[in-house]
Chain A
Amino acid sequence: MSDLNKLTLSAARDGLRNGDYTSVELTEACLTAIEGAGVLNAFVHNTPEIAREQAKAADARLAAGDAPAMCGLPIGIKDLFATKHVPTQAASAILEGFKPEYESTVTSKLFDAGAVMLGKLNMDEFAMGSSNETSTYGDVISPWRRGNEDTPLTPGGSSGGSAAAVSADLCLAATGTDTGGSIRQPAAFTGIVGIKPTYGRCSRWGIVAFASSLDQAGPMTKSVRDAAIMLETMCGHDMKDSTSADLPVPNFEAMLTGDIRGKKIGIPKEYRLDGTPDEIVKLWDDGAEMLKDAGAEIVDISLPHTKYALPTYYVIAPAEASSNLARYDGVRYGHRATLAEGEGINEMYEKTRAEGFGKEVQRRVMVGTYVLSAGFYDAYYNKARKVRTLIKRDFEDVFAQGVDAILTPATPSPAFGLGEVSDSDPIQMYLNDVFTVTVNLAGLPGISVPAGLSATGLPLGLQLIGKPWEEGDLLNIAHSLEGAAGFVSKPEKWW
């Protein structure tokens, strides 16, 4: 059977259990697809030996009738996840050569459930970026193109390698992480599904830290059903992450009933930004209409502090990053600068970090250092933490009014060309996360569902935001939206 790499997780799972093909065959199909897609620069550390070994073990489990959820399914892993004895660099030169002696909790859970790792995926350096242009491995090129143009486009970021790999059928699904939109924005740009669960659902242990109060892992998949299957495996309490939630993880797939009658869906007026392209506004209106046709009630809501979400994020995230990234000092792992005669430990720190961190990471670490420094801590950092409380309260208020989920666009535009959003104006790039960043600040679950194509033939996504710990309900509403939108487009293979 050909084209096994194009299967969804759910179809491949069923086929494996039926004995239609083996995990080894499925894995080989993906490895071949990866080999032919070097130009996309999505996979940056291939692990074919591990993949073949895991596939054989999975086939044995399948034969023995012991087949957990992800058994035999080949996936890609974002470079931010520590994978034992496999290069883990967070796409940074400062972690050059780093091979962890341990496995992250999330990847452990996936491998325990039988998943097969094809390799590590490109991303923005330390997950700081919205276009995958800050990576030490170079840009990821989206498999999507504008009509007949051959302008290379961004797959989005920071989980750009994950998005490109899933969208180009190099793997069945991939892990991502989301601090301000890094799962949902690339998913929207490449026509796939991406969910960031409630803060605390997935253990952060073994995931290279960016902004610890915002970071969450989640799956990037070809369908909402696949997101439900993979998310369930990734979630669960972990003593090694003190912010991990000790709550039971429901069977998310069983909650995909398709019945959303009586659900109240909020449409926040503050998300109608000036200058949003008509096609995005239309997509949003159409999405609301689809949910209404499925029996949901559409209500207008207000989230008054929305406009302060990005500035709040750009205090809190750099502040936490400056603290988290202090560990990269050239002593314990990664790069250490060569010192000149007479230079001491301070020169070692300063030169190591100047050589190892890219431009955007340096900028954020220094902004974070500034907002935490004596005299500015209250004016910036504490102020931002107070505004964050207000942003969260906005959501609590609408949920208290009976709203079950909130519908918004996922991004303010379709994917842009590499280099098109100027490096000299970081704010322009930050605006990509305008619809997604509120969700991280409030710790809520959010999912991006592909819902249509732009005039230039590029995917557009809608975002649904759910109540804390209600990923099951959120996935069910997303499932209904996915069915109604009927998005089936794939990038035409040019690579």
Chain B
Amino acid sequence: MSIYLKLAVEFLKIGLFSVGGGLATLPFLYKLADSYDWFTRAMLIDMIAISESTPGPIGINMATYAGYSAAGVYGGILATLSLVFPSVVIALFITKAMDTFRDNGLVKSAFYGIRPAVTALIASAALGIMKIMLVNLENGLSADIFNAKRIALFAVMLYLMKKYNKHPVFYIGGAAIVGVALKL
């Protein structure tokens, strides 16, 4: 079986079985590292770091990188397309069902409860990223536990967002420049 066929089959499986946000594909990639000589577990750690710090959803970035490591540029493209293919098929069915059921009373009351739960997921993500970015926990409870420069930038950002409500790209771009200027 050619490497492309193997790659396609493996990433179709990952796309079909990984449920949940961010790094849900990671356990599957660890298994690939163990069962093929495409990449090592150590290389995966670099892939996570790069996938998290470049644009694009982490899961997609990881698939492109892993596919590239296994079989070059075509491998990267093939792995990514294979990963999303099951989602496309499932989404086609779901949207058909949505057209039929979304005005159903039962579905409406389900979403009444789902929306606050999803807001909690977002709030939890916000807390998680604040903890990583604004607080230094490595040295325990020491004087430098708060990262003052970043907290200041965070506060300024929130203030500007509240006041001007500009497109997120302005804040992302501005913060990148401030990050370089202040050596954050």
Pairing of A with B: no
Tell me the B residues contacting A by CB distance below 8 Å. Answer: none
